[in-house]
Amino acid sequence: MFLLRSLTILIAISTVISIDVLVPISTTRPDSTFYPNIVHPRQPQRLKLSQKRPLHTNKFYTNPLLGPGSNPIITHPFVLFMNLESPYGISISCTEQLSFGPHIDSTRVKYFINVILKNIQVSATEFSTQKFEIIDVDDPGFSLTLKMYQENSQSSIIMPIVRGMAYVTFEYNSATPKISTTHAILSVNGQTSGRLTGKRFEIVLNNQQTWILYTLNGDITLEFRENQLFGTQSITNVLRLTKKQSDSYANSLLDTHVSVYPIGCQLKADVTDSKGAYTFIWERKGDLTKTLLHYTLAHHRQVMSSNSATGTPIQSQSSSKGPMIGYIGNVWIMIENSLSTMGFLAPRSPAPEYEDYIVAQLKKDITNGVNLAISDY
C-alpha cells in the first residue's frame, strides 16, 4: 500500500512541468525550397549596433530606422520624434488633448486622434544638423538606445528609450543643453528670465503643463532667455524630464526615484498546466540603490503580483491605450491563473469520411493563393 501511494505521488509530481515558452521551436535554417532567403526591400537606416544580429520588424522602434526617421516613437505615455529642422534634437509630447470622431452611442466614438505637440524640445547648442543613429535594441522589443551627435565633434546625447518610462532620459556628453517648446515658458523655478543653477528645474508652460527637469550628476547652470533654456557650458551629465503631477505625494515620488533609469528589459515566460507567469527584469542604470519607477498599462495591473511591484498615485494618459499608473519595482511578475490547456494540434483526428474532402479543399486553397489586392492584407 505504501509503495503504491508513493508511486502515485511520483507520477503526479512528474506531470507538473514548467515550460519556457520563449525557447525557439528550432534554430536550424528552414528549407530554402519553401522559404527562400529574400532581402527586405526597405533596409534599416542609421543602424549602428555593436554586434550584428536579426532585427525585429513591426516594433515601436522601427520609425527612426525608416526613411528620414521623423515618424513618432510611441513609448507610452510619451511620444517622441526627431526634429528635422532647428532646433536639431528630439521633441517630446505628453498631451491629454484628444480629438474625437463621430459618436456611436452615448459612451463610444468611432475613433479618436491623439494631438501630438512639441511640448518640450531637447537639443544641444553644438548641433547644427540632425544626425542620429540607433546603437542598441533589446531582444523583447521594449527598448532602443538612440545617439544624437554632431559630426567632427565630441558632443553627443545618448537616449535610452524604454516603453513605459516615467521620465525621458538624456545622457549628455561634452554637449551644451538647449531646452525649448512650441508653447510659451512662463517661468522656471519661479523666475521669468536670467540664470538658474541647480539639480531640479520646474518649467511652467502656458498650456497648463509644468515639466520637471532633473540632473543626476551635480548642478548645472541654465540661462532663461528668448523662451528657451541654454546651458552656460558643455556638460557631461544625465538629464531627465517628466511632466509634473497634480498630486504633491506623486511629485515627491518622482523626486525620490529619478536617480535610477531603465535601459532595457529581459523577458521570461513560463507555463505550468493552466498557470502562466511573465517576468520583466528591468535593466537599470544610475543609482542602483533606488527602485525603478515605471508606468503600467491596464493589462499589466490586472495580473501584477503584489510581491513584485507596488502601485503609486503617479498617473498619465497613454497615447492610445488608456490610463497609465506608475509602479515601483525592479522586477515585474505577472501571473495568469486560468490559461487554456488546449494544445496546438486538434485533440482528435478528423472523422475518416471527411478526410478526402478536407484534403481537396486544402489543395483548392493553395491553388487559388491569397488575394494580395485587398487593402488590409
Return the domain boundaries, the chain.
63-255, 265-336
Asked if pLDDT for residue 5 goes beyond 50, the answer is no
Q: At 355, is the pLDDT very low, low, confident or very high (cuts 50, 70, 90)?
A: very high
Q: What is residue 1's predicted lDDT score, i.e. its pLDDT?
A: 45
Helix (H) or strand (E) holding 3, with range, is: helix 2-14
Of 5-9, 311-315, 320-324, where does the model show the most confidence? 311-315
pLDDT tens digit sequence for 19-30: 898 998 888 988
Nearest to 148 by CA among 181, 183, 178, 180: 178
Helix (H) or strand (E) holding 254, with range, is: helix 248-257
Percent of all residues in the chain with a pLDDT value above 90, rounded to a whole number: 73
**Sign of the dihedral through C-alpha 269, 270, 276, 281:** negative
Asked if pLDDT for residue 8 goes beyond 50, the answer is no
Q: What is residue 94's predicted lDDT score, i.e. its pLDDT?
A: 94
Q: Report the C-alpha gap between 17 and 21 in whole angstroms.
A: 12
Nearest to 239 by CA among 288, 173, 295: 173
Provide CATH code, domain 63-255: 2.70.98.30
The one-character DSSP state at 306 is T
Task: Please give the model's pTM, rounded to 2 decimal places.
Answer: 0.87
pLDDT tens digit sequence for 84-143: 999 999 999 998 788 899 999 999 999 988 888 999 999 999 999 999 999 999 988 999
Q: For residues 281-306, give the mean pLDDT.
A: 97
Q: At 14, is the pLDDT very low, low, confident or very high (cuts 50, 70, 90)?
A: very low
Asked if pLDDT for residue 2 goes beyond 80, the answer is no
Side by side, the strands of the sheet bearing 194-198 are: 73-74, 79-82, 89-93, 120-124, 177-180, 228-231, 220-225, 194-198
pLDDT tens digit sequence for 357-371: 999 999 888 877 666
pLDDT tens digit sequence for 315-326: 999 998 999 999
Helix (H, G, I), strand (E, B) or coil at 228: strand
pLDDT tens digit sequence for 22-70: 998 888 988 888 888 888 888 899 999 888 888 888 899 999 999 999 9
Q: Report the C-alpha gap between 347 and 358 in whole angstroms.
A: 17
DSSP state letters, 155-211:
-EEEEEEETTBSSEEEEEEEE-EEEE-SS-EEEETTBSSEEEEESEEEEEETTS-EE
Q: At 12, is the pLDDT very low, low, confident or very high (cuts 50, 70, 90)?
A: very low
Q: At 15, is the pLDDT very low, low, confident or very high (cuts 50, 70, 90)?
A: low
Asked if pLDDT for residue 241 goes beyond 50, the answer is yes
Side by side, the strands of the sheet bearing 168-175 are: 132-137, 143-149, 156-162, 168-175, 235-243, 210-215, 200-205, 185-188
- The span from the first CA to the last CA of the chain, in angstroms, equals 63
